[in-house]
Chains A and B, each alone.
Chain A
């Protein structure tokens, strides 16, 4: 009997905890600092998560609620959180939504400096790059990659900061014969995904463009392999008529449908 009563009590407590945690996530999402404080006082878990792995700090930050963010940071909330659906870091979402003040608060708490540098360098916000460099110590590879991207994007102020921080000059670009580049041009299709990719050459550089998407210029690693680090894309031509595009866990085989 005592055992049953104990089980009932444990179940009830677990349900209450679930409620209070859900309330905390809702309050953080809305930036209701008073409620957030009260719920933490009532025992809500600072690192409770939505079904998508977002913590109270994550949802407050992605909605730009700086006071709530500061409170949760002061309570010791983890800043290195990546959601389980989009696999996006908290800082990444904050930057996408241009909550740069909140981004600075997160950076000030430290975290994975390599990842943070990659995230902030794309925004073109030199002060955020400065903040990451001041707080953390990005590795050489992260510095070099961000530096190369900044040069490519003509972000002079960011490039200068990264160079001062020790970024190496990028290696000379691999030169691919113009005839080889021309042989790749055309429109490619895949049976795995409803997307056409147009491959073309402009000013001596290879460009790719998915249907309805902006064009991008993958950098040659060799005559057959090209990469576009900002989108984590690698393209390998196995002939002038087909290539494999790798992005994350995707591995798509494209075949030329139209020659230009």
Chain B
């Protein structure tokens, strides 16, 4: 284990209310996946220790992504008392859940970003999981979120927990059974995955389940419910995105029955758009005044570029691909698990089988389509910084691709274990969560 030293001051640029060294939620500032102002590494090899600053074993299983604030990295995990529990990786369409009825511990850990030392860990909950999980999922799939003072962890049916960044439990909240599973057979429980997000003094959650779905805001200070809006919605797994326009802020949500926008301050629904896939796992991203939403399951696999500030039913008339509210759209080409990425002038999507497609973000014109690596399964969402895209395969390789109108693979970096979580960019350090370890990578 070695330390690369302090992050360069030059890299500390204020982006979206947090420093470039911070990655406060799933996919970083505004869920964008963009870490501009940071300079992450291009080449490393975890199997040989090359450019690995530190690695630390994290017990249990979790799909949740690491988040970073200042010198602390926060992760969540669920530890089954059955030591054989693991992820089932690969490309498959099986719907049967993992039914692990053994007692679990749900934990939040804070780790020193410089050394990898565990600074504190708190057990949020203990018990038998209230719902099953998808073989690719875990009992700790939602990523935590922080504003630099409070760290909020959501464990689905096991509740919502807020800690100080020093590790003191501030409040907790039972949100009831979060039965998110297969629409076709509600007993095929796959577990919750939508991550909490923070807006002003609120933590906002999208809880799409078999019955009584809702989006709600809770006071960051004490967990008091500030608003709740019911949704006629079936289970979904995408994280809501906070989208700020000139005079208002929206919560954009992606789900099967509709893609929707809500007033972030009140929860009032502003707009709705369909059709969409019947299973939705991706998170909307916002760039250049457009909200990009995609999904990749039948009956349609759409990509929409929605203008912020729209209202009402934005559903396009038959045969139309654009309107005053929709800059462009496609009903094919949307992707299933990795969320899309807008970087520079381009929208990038990564399909489950590792096909990277680049579009002109403003027009939807396809620029290129290219397989990344030799195939396999891709679950983690792509992130980007310093003119590069970081694309992570489930097999445990991180591909670094030059951003832009032509495909150029810069490196393939083995991690030595499966990866399902989306990496975090923290200054010049890339934080990668594997199935068993958390790695800090820097050149």
A residues lining the B interface (CB < 8 Å): 29-30, 52, 54, 59, 62-63, 83, 85-86, 97, 189, 191-196, 211-213
> Once bound together, how far apart are the Cα atoms of A143 and B380, in whole Å?
46
- Chain B residues within an 8 Å CB radius of A212: 91, 352-353, 375-377
A194 contacts B351, C-beta separation under 8 Å: yes
Which residues does B use to contact A, with CB under 8 Å? 91, 96, 183-187, 278, 298-299, 332-333, 335, 351-355, 357, 366, 369, 371, 375-377
9 chain-A/chain-B pairs, Cβ below 8 angstroms: A52-B183, A59-B185, A63-B185, A63-B187, A194-B333, A194-B335, A194-B355, A211-B371, A212-B376
On whether A30 and B184 interact (CB within 8 A), knowing A194-B333, A212-B91, A212-B375, the answer reads no
Q: Are B278 and A193 in contact (CB under 8 A)?
A: no
Most central of B184, B332, B376 by chain A CB within 10 Å:
B184
Residue in B closest to A213 when the chains form the complex, CB atoms: B91
New A-B contacts (12) at CB < 8 Å, excluding given A194-B335, A211-B353: A29-B185, A54-B184, A62-B185, A63-B187, A85-B184, A192-B332, A194-B357, A194-B369, A195-B355, A196-B371, A211-B371, A212-B352
A193 — which chain B residues lie within 8 A by C-beta? Answer: 332
Q: Name which residue of chain B comes closest to A191, CB basis.
A: B366
Task: Name the residue of chain B whose CB is nearest to the CB of A189.
Answer: B369
With both beta carbons as reference points, the residue of chain B lying nearest to A50 in the complex is identified as: B184
- The listed residue with most B CB atoms (<10 A of its CB), out of A30, A193, A213, is A193
Alpha-carbon distance A191/B299, docked complex (angstroms):
18
- The answer to whether B332 and A211 touch across the interface, beta carbons within 8 angstroms, is no
Query: Within 8 Å CB of B354, what residues of A?
Result: 211
A-B pairs, top 8 by smallest CB distance, nearest first, are: A212-B91, A194-B351, A212-B353, A194-B355, A211-B353, A211-B375, A52-B184, A212-B375
In the docked arrangement, what's the CA distance between A29 and B369, Å? 43
User: Which one of A54, A63, A212 has the highest number of Cβ atoms from chain B below 10 Å of its Cβ?
Assistant: A212
**Which residue of chain A lies nearest to B354 when distances are taken between CB atoms in the complex?**
A211
- CB pair A211–B184 under 8 Å, yes or no, is no
CB distance from B36 to the nearest CB of A (A): 28
Q: How far is the CB of B157 from chain A (nearest CB, A)?
A: 18
How far is the CB of A58 from the nearest CB of chain B, in Å? 10
CA distance A254 to B327 in the complex (A): 28
**Contacting residues, chain B, for A97 (C-beta < 8 A):** 96
Residues of chain B contacted by A195 (CB below 8 angstroms):
353, 355
Q: How far is the CB of A201 from chain B (nearest CB, A)?
A: 20
In the complex, chain A residues whose CB is within 8 Å of the CB of B357? 194
Instruction: Report the separation of the CA atoms of residues A213 and B377 in the bound assembly, to the nearest whole angstrom.
Output: 11
Nearest A residue to B332 by beta-carbon distance? A192
B376 contacts across to A, CB distance below 8 A = 212
| Shortest CB distance A70–B (Å) | 20
How far does the alpha carbon of A75 sit from the alpha carbon of B377 in the complex, in Å? 46
Report the minimum CB–CB distance from B349 to chain A (whole Å). 8
CA of A52 to CA of B298, assembled, Å:
13
Residue of B nearest to A196 (CB): B371
State the CA gap A234–B332 with chains docked (Å): 21
A59 vs B188: C-alpha distance in the bound complex, in angstroms?
12
Closest chain A CB from B114 CB (angstroms):
39
- B96, B184, B186, B369: the one within 8 Å of A86 (CB): B184
Q: Give Cα A155–Cα B427 distance, bound, in whole angstroms.
A: 60
Assess whether A83 is in contact with B332, with CB atoms less than 8 Å apart.
no
Residue of chain A at shortest CB distance from B183: A52
A189 to B353 alpha-carbon distance, docked (Å): 14
A86 and chain B: residue at smallest CB distance:
B184
Rounded to whole angstroms, the CA-CA distance of A196 and B355 in the bound complex is: 9
Residues of chain B within 8 A (CB-CB) of A189 are 369
Shortest beta-carbon distance from A134 to chain B in Å: 30
Q: Roughly how many angstroms separate A48 CA and B85 CA in the complex, as a whole number?
A: 39
Distance between Cα atoms of A54 and B335 in the complex (Å) = 27
